[in-house]
Amino acid sequence: DAKTTQPTSMDCAEGRAANLPCNHSTISGNEYVYWYRQIHSQGPQYIIHGLKNNETNEMASLIITEDRKSSTLILPHATLRDTAVYYCISGTGANSKLTFGKGITLSVRP
């Protein structure tokens, strides 16, 4: 599975869009990009995933660059409850394995 790199932390103002970047420069053609988040002391929560096309659901949007070497998770209107660690993961799905790195800590300020 390709390695992903994320900044350690970022913050944004409540009500504004939060754009969380992720680099996956070694991603292969059959590897998906997944985003999960973990609120303090809870289990991670799935947010979204994609392969090539941009994706949107009720939680967020995922923008994948054309060369697939990077992606951005967008929370359109961040709230204080979005403060969490966000994990960007890439994987093929082989053996159901996903590798979670340290993620990026998003702090939403009032």
Interface contacts to other proteins, rule CB under 8 A: 32, 34, 36, 41-46, 49, 87, 91-103
Contact 69, 12 (CB under 8 A): no
- Least Å distance, CB 37 to other proteins, is 11
- Least Å distance, CB 22 to other proteins, is 14
Residue 53 CB neighbours (<10 A): 8
Task: Measure Cα distances from 69 to 2, 11, 21, 51 in Å.
Answer: 10, 24, 11, 11
- Least Å distance, CB 16 to other proteins, is 27
Nearer to other proteins, 75 or 88 (CB): 88
Nearer to other proteins, 72 or 90 (CB): 90
Nearer to other proteins, 77 or 97 (CB): 97
The residues, ordered by sequence, that sit 6+ positions from 72 with a Cβ below 8 Å of its Cβ are 19, 20, 21, 22, 62, 63
